[in-house]
Chain A
Amino acid sequence: MKTTALEKTARHLRRRLWLVRFRRDSLRLLAAVFFLCGAIILGMRLLATPNLPWRIMFWVSCGGILLAVATAILTSHRRLPDWRRLLAWMDASQHGGGLFVTALETDLGEWQPPEPSATVLPENPPWRQTLVPLLLSLLFLFGAQAIPISEKVIAKEHHLDVSEKTAELEEKIDFLEETSLLPEKTVEELKESLEDLSSKNDAKDPAKTYELLDAVTKRLDYAADMAYESLETEAEAKESFSAMLQEMLEKNAQESKSLAELAELCDQLSLSPEDMAKLMKEMPDQPQLSPEDIQKLIEKLKEQGKTARQLQAKLCEKGLCKDKKPGEEEGEEVEAMLVPMGMGNGNGDISRGPGAAPLDLNGTTEDFTGTYKEEKLEALMNKKDSMLLDTQAIKPDVKPSDMEAGKGGSLQGGDALLRQNRSRVHPQHRNAIKEYFK
């Protein structure tokens, strides 16, 4: 047998071996690729959109197949042994007695090696090992695309949109900062809290988000209230001071009482000796204030008082001090008295705790006893987005004759006690209800 015949057989064996390896590698890689594609598709459906078009799966799979086939071609070719090595393998496996390999080195002469066979391969993995994973991966791929996924299953990681509220609060904080009504440290803390609110809140836990929002709002409101009170005091003091000075000017008498009041007012104004000196510097330094100087002081004080009032007005304008009218203290005092009695006006915002006034769902209640009325809340009939709030039962309007026990359907008699149930409105419904009551 000539060397060329042996070489021919060895090369043929090499081609067959390449095919076997390519088939094995491609099936394995395809299985891996299909598993990967299935995982990608499943992830996309769970995280982005559950209704992924079939063409996405088709194109992803096509890309994966191309990649797997290309990789299999490269790997199977790279690891393919030289045909001479395959000839040696044939010599060893087919008991060639060394004649196959010797034929490459020297003339065999009269010796004839046994007929080499290219049917037996060095490796031939069983089908089961390569097909089963492939079939499983195909099943997984199709399952990833076809399995129904409910909207609720989607584990969306998104944030609650509280941008409107936080923008509003930021605007208020900026105003307070510009007018130096809020310390810098407080401003920073509030802004940091708002930033966290916007970016790190979790839609799955809205209660926490709204609680934090409420806390920031309350703190801001408190700071605004404090600023308002401070401005009020300052304005009052300056107005009083200017009024007093005006009176003094008119009466042209410096009484000890006025001086005492002046001293007190200076304290209230927190005019430090430096401030007082500064104020006095604007007037000529005279042992006794002339009427013109006093008039100037009066104007100055009125101006500062007006500035304080303007700031107060701006605070109210910005919504930092609700229901306050600068200069009107009497109304607030009355309100403060009526609120604990349950007779004051409600603050109208359900986020601020229970309202002082009974909730009027239909028209104006004539008196505080009210009339029990039943009304369906249309906006809340969609159970999907609502929850049952506890009902507030007030004292029914019963006739004295029906006030015996057992009547009126109450064990306590018709004269049922006023039931007050503090119902906790869940934050995720707060805005809905708030909108309803607007």
Chain B
Amino acid sequence: MLLPPEQLLPQQQLAQKILDELNRILLGHEEVHRLLLIGILSRGHVLLEGLPGVGKTALVKALGQLFDLEFKRIQFTPDLLPSDILGGNILQVSPDGRREFVFQPGAIFANIVLADEINRASPKTQSAMLEAMQERCVTLQGETRKLPFPFFVLASQNPIELEGTYPIPEAQLDRFLFKLEVTGVDAPVLAQIISQRRRGEPPAPTWHLTPEQLQGLFDAMDAIHLAEPVADYIARLVAAGHPQNALALPEINKYVTFGASPRAAIALAEAARAAALLDGRPTVGFDDVKAVALPVLNHRLILNYQAKLEKVTTGSLINLLLEKTAPAAL
């Protein structure tokens, strides 16, 4: 049986309240805020990509302030080591004089981790995030330690600087639920920022989301029903993005080297649930899937050189997929 309206609607209102607060704190990125919240509700990690100064870090910091959760920031630098992120064992002298190794947790042991400029760290360091992001635990010297719940990695990267940066490996990219493009704001919003925010500093949130409230949102998320035809649509959408698949479009065969993984299909389903929750519906609709398909699949389609030569983007291919893949497969 579906979640009754009296249980769902308060959650939807709460989610809307979070959105409104975020929109108040940071101006001009309503859609990004919505998708970011969807990502949070889906318990996924989000990668924010944008030019310097568009507000990526400010957004994550605002989210961290809004959510009454432990927030830590990791500034990725080329000399960052995995132990700086994960932590390590340190030899310490106990009060009774014995020497023993004590585990010192790294910055990753938090609810919300801001991985700023994640592409500046070396692949070795970036790979330290893989287990943590997927399994939400850290294994060091044979000992596995669980990360706190909830655990989100909100990473940011600069798309224009190539000097001293390392591209994020596909395996790590696949662990991000969304990759959101954070663009600049238009002139009226900019004028408002300039006039109302000294030094561009955003205001502090007026209220905070408690862990219990967040758990309530998660519970409502779990109750959102995903019907089989919608799941079938998600599966066909992901399958159509694979070259040489029976459902693949000619453009996919031409421009795509690797398609999205099954993890993408799961991410799509979860994100669609969150979208339905934000709309106050107990079921996932086909429109919800379409709304979140682009940020979910954007970073998971690996294009070939021909696509780069012809300047074909993943966004255009995903839009084509959405257009050509019929929801009901008549």
Q: Point out residues on A near B: beta carbons under 8 Å.
A: 81, 84-86, 88-89, 91-92, 95-99, 101-102, 104-111, 122
Contact = CB atoms under 8 A, between A and B. Distances in A.
B225 interface: yes
B91 interface: no
B225 A109 contact: no
B284 A98 contact: yes
A110 B3 CA distance: 9
A111 B223 CA distance: 14
B228 A101 contact: yes
B287 A95 contact: yes
B5 A89 contact: no
Contacts of B175: none
A105 B227 contact: yes
B2 interface: yes
Contacts of B227: 98, 101-102, 104-105
B84 interface: no
Interface residues of B, number: 25
Contact of B288 (A86, A98, A105, A107): A98
A109 B1 contact: yes
A105 B4 CA distance: 16
A256 B37 CA distance: 145
Contact of A91 (B1, B5, B282, B286): B286
A97 B4 contact: no
B25 to A, nearest CB: 30
B328 A98 contact: no
B243 to A, nearest CB: 26
Interface string B1-31: 1101100000000000000000000000000
Given A85-B328, A89-B327, A89-B330, A95 B2 contact: no
B285 interface: yes
Interface string B205-234: 000000000000000000001111110000
A109 B3 CA distance: 8
A97 B229 contact: no
Contacts of B328: 81, 85-86, 88-89, 91-92
Given A97-B279, A111-B282, A92 B2 contact: no
A97 B5 contact: no
B299 interface: no
A106 to B, nearest CB: 6
Nearest to B228: A105
Given A88-B328, A97-B281, A97-B287, A102 B276 contact: no
A290 to B, nearest CB: 111
A106 B328 CA distance: 19
A111 B285 CA distance: 14
